[in-house]
C-alpha cells in the first residue's frame, strides 16, 4: 500500500487534503487563526527539514511535515469559505424583511438558485435557493432580479430518516432559502458573462434542430437529455426504468458524458502530433476547448463544470506525468477542485464521480484479467462488464446510503446502454455539426432517433426482469466506511494477488456482519416513541423492537406520510394493527403508557388541568387550549410540553412565554423537529 502511494504523489496529497477538510468540518473547536498558525508552522518545519535532509530521519520528518502542511491547508480553505469568516456574506446583513438583488444561476419548476448581488442596501455575496410557483415560466438564467422576502437558514431534516436538504445544499455552498409570495421584479436580462450567454443561445438553436428532425417524443426527450442536458421532457416511467436498471447516471450530464466526449475528441484529434510536426500540446488545448464548449452549452451545471475541470486536468497532466498519469491526473483534479471549493466533498455527484473513476482506474484491468476471453466480441462484452464492476466497487456503499436501493443488473444494463450512449453522443456531435446539410442532417437524425429508441427499449427490457433491484436498504455512515474499507482491501487483492489480502478482505466482511448484527440486536430490544413533525396532521409511532404501533391506526401504508414510511423502513419494523398484539404498553383515552413513561395527547380544546390530573412525562398539545391559569400546575404535573407543528404561530409564541416564566421544558416541532424518546422497558 505504501509503495503504491509513493508511485502516485497526487493521490497521497489529495487524501490528506480531503482529510483536513473533513476534520475542520467535524471539529467545532478549531478556528481560522489556529488553522493558519498550524499551516505556517508545519510549512516552515517542512522547509527546515528538507534543507537538512542528509539523514534518513530528517528526510522522514520533512515528508511528514509536508503532509501535515497539506492537512492544515485543507482545514484552512474549508474554514476560510464559511459564511462567518466572509465579511461580505449575506449572513451579516439579513433582517426580518429583506430587499435582495440577485442574479439567477439555475432554474427549476418551483425552485431557483441565485447569486446575491445586494442585500438591504449592502454589497453582498453568497447564494440563495428561492421557492415559488411556476418560476421556470417567468425566470431565465442570467436574469438580474429584485424581491422583498424573508430569508431563513436551511435547517436539518425535521424527521428521522428524512432527506437532508441542509447537507445537499451545503455541497453547493448554499445555507439560506427564501419563499417568493410574489413574482420577483425583472431588472435586466442576459447579465451572465459572454461565455455563459452565447452557449445558451447555441443550445436553444440546437434544440430547435432536434425538434424539427426527430418525431418520436421518447426518442426526442432522450436526445435532449443526453445531448443538451434538458431532462424536462422525459416521461416519469422512463426515468423510473433508468433508476431500476441502474443506469440513471446516463441521463445526468456529468462525468460519464464528458468522459465519452473526451474519448471521441481524442480519437478525432489523434492525427495531431503523428508525423505532422504539430506539437502534441496543441491537441491537448483543442480537446480542452471542445470539452468546455460542450460543458457550457449544456448549461454549465456544477456537476458538468466539475467533470470538465477533471478531464481538463486529466489531459493536462498527461503532458506532465510520463508514467502513472491516469491516477495522478484524477488526484490532481480532486486537489484542484477541493482547493477551489472545499464544500464539493459533500456533493453527491462529486463523491460518486470520483469514486467511480477511482474504481475504474485501479480495478478495471485486474478484474478484466480474472477471465481470459479469446473471442473478440465476447472480450468486448467482458470489458464492459469489468468496467461496470470496477465502477461499482467504490460507489455502491454511497449509492445505498443516499438512495436506499441497489440495482442487481447494473452490469447487464451497462453492457448495452453505455455503448449505445457512446454512439448517440457521437451521432449527436455529427448531427450538430452537419445538420445544415439536408441529406446528412436527415441521415444523422434517423440514426439518432433509432439509437435512442433502442436504448429506451433495452432499459425497459431490463426493468421487466423480476427482482431487478433491492429496495429499502438502510445503512449508516459507519457501515459506509466499513464497506469502503472492504472495497480498498479487495482492490489490493486484485492488484497484488496475495493470499494475505484475501484474509484481510474476509476479516473486513466479518467485521461488517458483526456490526450489522449488533445494530439489529439493539433495534430489536429498543423501545422508542417518535412524534413526527408534519405540516397537516399529527402522527406518532411507538417502536417496540421490530414492531411498530401507530397512534393513528386508520392510516394505511399507502396513506402514510413519506417521512413516516421512510423511518419505518429504516427501522425494519412490522406494523401491528391493535394494542392487543403487544402487552408492553397502554393507549387509552389519550394516555400512552410504556413502562414508567407516560404521555398524554391533548387533541380537544375542552382540556382542563386539575389537581387530580395524573403526573405525565410528556404533554403533547395538538390543538390550542387555554393554559394561562393552569401553568403553575404544569410545572408539577408535566415533565415536558410538546408543541405540535400544526399549532398557530401566535399560540406557540404565547405558550413559550408562559413556559419560560414557569421554567418548563418545551419541545417545539417547528424548530426542534420530531420528538424522539428512547424508553427503558
Following DSSP, what letter does each residue of 384-430 receive, concatenated? HHHHHHHHHHHHHHHHHHHHSEEETTHHHHHHHHHHHHHHHHHHHHH
User: Cell for 272?
Assistant: 495531431
With CA atoms as reference, report the closest residue to 549 among 603, 600, 593: 593
Residue whose grid cell is 471521441: 264
pLDDT at 69: 92
Rounded CA separation 437/458 (Å): 31
Confidence of residue 119 (pLDDT cuts 50, 70, 90): very high
Q: How far is CA 349 from the centre of its chain?
A: 6
pLDDT at 74: 92
Q: What average pLDDT does this structure show over 263-278?
A: 66
| Residues written for the chain | 681
The one-character DSSP state at 343 is: G
Rounded CA separation 623/644 (Å): 8
pLDDT digits (tens, 9 = 90+) for 78-112: 998 888 888 889 999 998 889 999 988 887 778 88
Where is average pLDDT lowest: 177-181, 512-516, 548-552?
Answer: 548-552
Rounded CA separation 638/653 (Å): 19
Helix spans in 615-664 (H): 631-637, 649-661
Residue 301 has pLDDT above 70, yes or no: no
Percent of the chain predicted with pLDDT > 70: 89
pLDDT at 558: 47
pLDDT at 555: 52
pTM score: 0.80
The one-character DSSP state at 279 is: -
Residue 145 has pLDDT above 60, yes or no: yes
Please give the mean pLDDT across all residues of the chain.
82
Residue 551 has pLDDT above 90, yes or no: no
Residue 416 has pLDDT above 50, yes or no: yes
- The arrangement of strands across the sheet holding 616-621 comes to 585-588, 591-594, 597-602, 616-621, 638-643, 665-668
pLDDT at 73: 93
Confidence of residue 667 (pLDDT cuts 50, 70, 90): very high
Top mean pLDDT of 227-231, 433-437, 614-618, 656-660 is at 614-618
Following DSSP, what letter does each residue of 99-114 receive, concatenated? EEEEEEEEE-SSEEEE
Residue 586 has pLDDT above 90, yes or no: no
User: Cell for 180?
Assistant: 417568493
CA atoms within 13 A on the CB side of 503: 3
Q: What average pLDDT does this structure show over 556-563?
A: 63
Amino acid at each position: 500500500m505504501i509503495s503504491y502511494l509513493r508511485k502516485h504523489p497526487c493521490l497521497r496529497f489529495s487524501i490528506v487534503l480531503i482529510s483536513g477538510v473533513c476534520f475542520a468540518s467535524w471539529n467545532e473547536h478549531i478556528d481560522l487563526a489556529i488553522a493558519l498558525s498550524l499551516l505556517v508552522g508545519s510549512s516552515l518545519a517542512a522547509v527546515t527539514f528538507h534543507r537538512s535532509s542528509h539523514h534518513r530521519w530528517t528526510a522522514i520528518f520533512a515528508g511528514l511535515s509536508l503532509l501535515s502542511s497539506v492537512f492544515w491547508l485543507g482545514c484552512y480553505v474549508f474554514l476560510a469559505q464559511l459564511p462567518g469568516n466572509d465579511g461580505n456574506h449575506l449572513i451579516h446583513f439579513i433582517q426580518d424583511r429583506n430587499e435582495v438583488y440577485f442574479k439567477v444561476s439555475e432554474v427549476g419548476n418551483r425552485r431557483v438558485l441565485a447569486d446575491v448581488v445586494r442585500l438591504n442596501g449592502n454589497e453582498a455575496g453568497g447564494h440563495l435557493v428561492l421557492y415559488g410557483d411556476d418560476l421556470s415560466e417567468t425566470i431565465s438564467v442570467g436574469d438580474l432580479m429584485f424581491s422583498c422576502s424573508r430569508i431563513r437558514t436551511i435547517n436539518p431534516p425535521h424527521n428521522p430518516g428524512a432527506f437532508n436538504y441542509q447537507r445537499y445544499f451545503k455541497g453547493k455552498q448554499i445555507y439560506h432559502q427564501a419563499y417568493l409570495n410574489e413574482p420577483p421584479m425583472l431588472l435586466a436580462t442576459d447579465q451572465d458573462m459572454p461565455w455563459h450567454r452565447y452557449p445558451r443561445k447555441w443550445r436553444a438553436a440546437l434544440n430547435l434542430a432536434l425538434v424539427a428532425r426527430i418525431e418520436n417524443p421518447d426518442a426526442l426527450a432522450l436526445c435532449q437529455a443526453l445531448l443538451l442536458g434538458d431532462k424536462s421532457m422525459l416521461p416519469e416511467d422512463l426515468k423510473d426504468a433508468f433508476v431500476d436498471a441502474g443506469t440513471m447516471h446516463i441521463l445526468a450530464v456529468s462525468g460519464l458524458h464528458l468522459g465519452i466526449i473526451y474519448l471521441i475528441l481524442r480519437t478525432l484529434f489523434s492525427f495531431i502530433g503523428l508525423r505532422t510536426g504539430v506539437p502534441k500540446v496543441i491537441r491537448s488545448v483543442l480537446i480542452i476547448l471542445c470539452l468546455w464548449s460542450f460543458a457550457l452549452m449544456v448549461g454549465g451545471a456544477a456537476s458538468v463544470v466539475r467533470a470538465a475541470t477533471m478531464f481538463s486536468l486529466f489531459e493536462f497532466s498527461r503532458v506532465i506525468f510520463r508514467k502513472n498519469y491516469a491516477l495522478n491526473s484524477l488526484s490532481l483534479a480532486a486537489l484542484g477542485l477541493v482547493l477551489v471549493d472545499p464544500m464539493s466533498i459533500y456533493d453527491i455527484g462529486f463523491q460518486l464521480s470520483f469514486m467511480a473513476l477511482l474504481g475504474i482506474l485501479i480495478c478495471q484491468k485486474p478484474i478484466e484479467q480474472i477471465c481470459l476471453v479469446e473471442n473478440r466480441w465476447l472480450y468486448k462484452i467482458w470489458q464492459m462488464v469489468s468496467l461496470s464492476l470496477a465502477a461499482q466497487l467504490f460507489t455502491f456503499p454511497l449509492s445505498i446510503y443516499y438512495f436506499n436501493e441497489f440495482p442487481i443488473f447494473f452490469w447487464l444494463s451497462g453492457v448495452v446502454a453505455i455503448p449505445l450512449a457512446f454512439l448517440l453522443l457521437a451521432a449527436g456531435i455529427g448531427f450538430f455539426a452537419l445538420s445544415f446539410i439536408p441529406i446528412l442532417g436527415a441521415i444523422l437524425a434517423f440514426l439518432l432517433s433509432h439509437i435512442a429508441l433502442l436504448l429506451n427499449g433495452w432499459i425497459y427490457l431490463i426493468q421487466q426482469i423480476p427482482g431487478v433491484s433491492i429496495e429499502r436498504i438502510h445503512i449508516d455512515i459507519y457501515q459506509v466506511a466499513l464497506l469502503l474499507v472492504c472495497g480498498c482491501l479487495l482492490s489490493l487483492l486484485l492488484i497484488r494477488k496475495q493470499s494475505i489480502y484475501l484474509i484481510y478482505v474476509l476479516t473486513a466482511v466479518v467485521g461488517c456482519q458483526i456490526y450489522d448484527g449488533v445494530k439489529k440486536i439493539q433495534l430489536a430490544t429498543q423501545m422508542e416513541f417518535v412524534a413526527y413533525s408534519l405540516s397537516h396532521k399529527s402522527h406518532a409511532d411507538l417502536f417496540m423492537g421490530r414492531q411498530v404501533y401507530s397512534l393513528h391506526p386508520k392510516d394505511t401504508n399507502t396513506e402514510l406520510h413519506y417521512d413516516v414510511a421512510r423511518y419505518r423502513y429504516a427501522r425494519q419494523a412490522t406494523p401491528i394493527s391493535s394494542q392487543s398484539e403487544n402487552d408492553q404498553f397502554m393507549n387509552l383515552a389519550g394516555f400512552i403508557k410504556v413502562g414508567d413513561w407516560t404521555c398524554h395527547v391533548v387533541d380537544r380544546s375542552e382540556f382542563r388541568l386539575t389537581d387530580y390530573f395524573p403526573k405525565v412525562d410528556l404533554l403533547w398539545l395538538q390543538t390550542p387550549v387555554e393554559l394561562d391559569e393552569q401553568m403553575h400546575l404544569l410545572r408539577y404535573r408535566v415533565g415536558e410540553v410538546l408543541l405540535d407543528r400544526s399549532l398557530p404561530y401566535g399560540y406557540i409564541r404565547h405558550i413559550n412565554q408562559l413556559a419560560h416564566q414557569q421554567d418548563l421544558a418545551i419541545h417545539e416541532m417547528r424548530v426542534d423537529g420530531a420528538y424522539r424518546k428512547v424508553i427503558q422497558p
